Amino acid sequence: MFFRWDWLRPQLTAPIVPTLGPTHPDALTIGLFEDTLRAADTGDFLPYDKDRRWGGEKDEKVLRDDVVHQREHTLIPTLSRRGRGTTKVFAYGLRDSAVEEAAELAAKLAAVHDVVSARVVRPLGPRTTHPRGTRIQLKDFTTGPCPAPDGPVRPVTAWPTAVQETFAPFAAAMAGDGLAFLHTQIQAGHCGPVLAATIQDRIVGAIGPMEVRPDAIGCPQLMPQYFAVLPEVRGQGLGRVLWRAAMHWGQSHGAAYQLLQTEVGGPSDRLCQAEGLTSLGFTHTTSA
């Protein structure tokens, strides 16, 4: 076993694991960290990796030989070849010196692996004052019902053909939110249903794909979705209707929970906070 849990556990101020992302606190074990090292050796997806549903090969991997694991802090570097390439160093530790050391390591590894981007990811606890970056949020489906909302929301494939055909231009307009990628997955039949909202027979908002898969300990989780509403129709409550429709779908299909990442202070962040989700902490990413 590479990691010592008595060293690492006190440093986990937020439940995030390199290459895997946010993790339910009940599933946060030393085994997850050990699994990422084994996956780095094989290049395969872990059975519970959220990215596995997209197929292909796992892009990001842990740089096992460059991990720094000490009592005071743990630095776990990863490498992605996507685009022009990125190294990230996840800095687990309570002292600012861990971030400084992580920045040096990220820059060095970027040069070694000939990639252009070097970043440091620092997890922060849920009681962090004036947080920046990304909030990790938990929706627990076991605490109460998630009723279906009233509103013009249904799966894309359940709308009339003429309405379905408006998804392509909507997805193109919201490419920055991942909807263009989602559209390619829909066309290839590689993902679950996508819920869409309409105004005057035109799709103006969507959330999906809707899929439930087991996590590392076998608990069913609603997988993360792409979520977007056209800017010109925001402020009419469509985002909330889409969100509640997605939560109803997840609960009715047996999900126990969902984990989300939202930009602190952004529209999705405010929506999730208003809907009563639990904040599990934050991640702050900076350039090295």
Residues 45 and 13 occupy one common structural domain = yes
Residues 101 and 171 occupy one common structural domain = no
Residues 9 and 125 occupy one common structural domain = yes
Residues 121 and 177 occupy one common structural domain = no
Residues 63 and 151 occupy one common structural domain = no
Q: Please state, in angstroms and rounded to a whole number, the distance separating the CA atoms of residues 89 and 87.
A: 7
Q: Are the CB atoms for 3 and 36 separated by under 8 Å?
A: no
Q: Which domain holds residue 37?
A: 5-132
> Which tens digit of pLDDT belongs to each residue from 50-90?
989 887 788 999 999 999 999 999 999 999 999 999 999 99
Is residue 75 within a helix (H) or strand (E), and if so which, with residue range? strand 73-80
Q: Please state, in angstroms and rounded to a whole number, the distance separating the CA atoms of residues 26 and 269.
A: 23
Residues 158 and 45 occupy one common structural domain = no
Q: Are the CB atoms for 191 and 182 separated by under 8 Å?
A: yes
Q: Are the CB atoms for 75 and 92 separated by under 8 Å?
A: yes
The count of structural domains within the chain is: 2
Is 90 exceeded by the pLDDT of residue 41?
no
Show which of 78, 97, 132 is a domain's final residue. Answer: 132
Which of 58 and 280 is assigned the larger pLDDT? 280
Total-model pTM: 0.92
Query: Cβ-count burial of 21 within 10 angstroms (0-12 exposed, 13-18 middle, 19+ buried)?
Result: middle
Is 90 exceeded by the pLDDT of residue 171?
yes
pLDDT score, position 144 = 95
Residues 76 and 17 occupy one common structural domain = yes
> Which tens digit of pLDDT belongs to each residue from 111-134?
999 999 999 999 999 999 999 999
Residues 243 and 156 occupy one common structural domain = yes
pLDDT score, position 88 = 98
Of 59, 61, 58, 62, the closest CA to residue 47 belongs to 58
Residues 50 and 26 occupy one common structural domain = yes
